[in-house]
Amino acid sequence: NAGVTQTPKFQVLKTGQSMTLQCAQDMNHNSMYWYRQDPGMGLRLIYYSASEGTTDKGEVPNGYNVSRLNKREFSLRLESAAPSQTSVYFCASHNSGANVLTFGAGSRLTVL
Amino acid sequence: SQELEQSPQSLIVQEGKNLTINCTSSKTLYGLYWYKQKYGEGLIFLMMLQKGGEEKSHEKITAKLDEKKQQSSLHITASQPSHAGIYLCGSQTGANNLFFGTGTRLTVIP
């Protein structure tokens, strides 16, 4: 049972490049989330998806897009990366019955 | 909007010492979660508290939610190097929005 799987684990981009962070969960969870973690800022919610086909903005959505194409997968896209998007990104899924988030191992992104 | 403030922001303790981390909310908490993050890794769920006055323990870690449900504390007894990491409290606003405090970085010196 893999839980929440994120790819890639590390990525270096140049300003203006685009990329997609992939996330998949095998726990049949309805809700999925993308957070970013920065020093001194804790975890901040970028986007979340309450169910397949729906997405909503979180606290810091600017510069990001998301896609929830099916129940398992929730991707985060940076169309034109900026140095301010250098961060560690975490995907999580939510078991609404137990109200507990399960996190992926994180993706460390550096934008030069 | 609701905010979660954690204190202290960082903590260095000698192995074997007890310690407490606090999480304070500006509004009533309807579910308080404690997570631990090892450096460079993902977050691991520790405990969830829902009822005012509730207290839960796991091994040497005890978490409490006060009666007014606006503050939670995490207490570690006889700390060990394996307890080192970042501790985050989290709470829920609405049906599908979970948010977190800024975290407390714990270092345990052998």
Mutate to test the interface with A, among B35, B43, B50 (most CBs of A within 10 A): B43
For chain A, the residues whose C-beta falls within 8 A of a C-beta of chain B are: 4, 31, 33, 35, 40-45, 48, 50, 56, 58-59, 90, 92, 94, 98-106
DSSP state of B8: -
User: Percent of chain A at pLDDT above 90?
Assistant: 75
Q: Are A27 and A95 in contact (CB under 8 A)?
A: yes
Backbone angles phi, psi at B62, to 5 degrees: -125, 135
**Is B48 in the A-facing interface, judged by CB distances under 8 Å?**
yes
Residue A55 pLDDT > 70: yes
Instruction: Tell me how far apart the alpha carbons of residues A71 and B83 are, in angstroms, rounded to a whole number.
Output: 35
Q: Are A64 and A18 in contact (CB under 8 A)?
A: no
Which of B31, B43, B97 lies at the smallest CB-CB distance from A48?
A: B97
Residue reference for tokens 């996330």:
A23
User: Nearest Cα to B84, choosing from B5, B15, B2, B6?
Assistant: B15
- Summarize pLDDT for A13-53 with one digit per residue, the tens: 999 999 999 999 999 999 999 999 998 778 899 999 988 99
- Summarize pLDDT for B55-100 with one digit per residue, the tens: 999 889 999 999 888 899 999 999 999 999 999 999 876 656 678 8
pLDDT at A42: 81
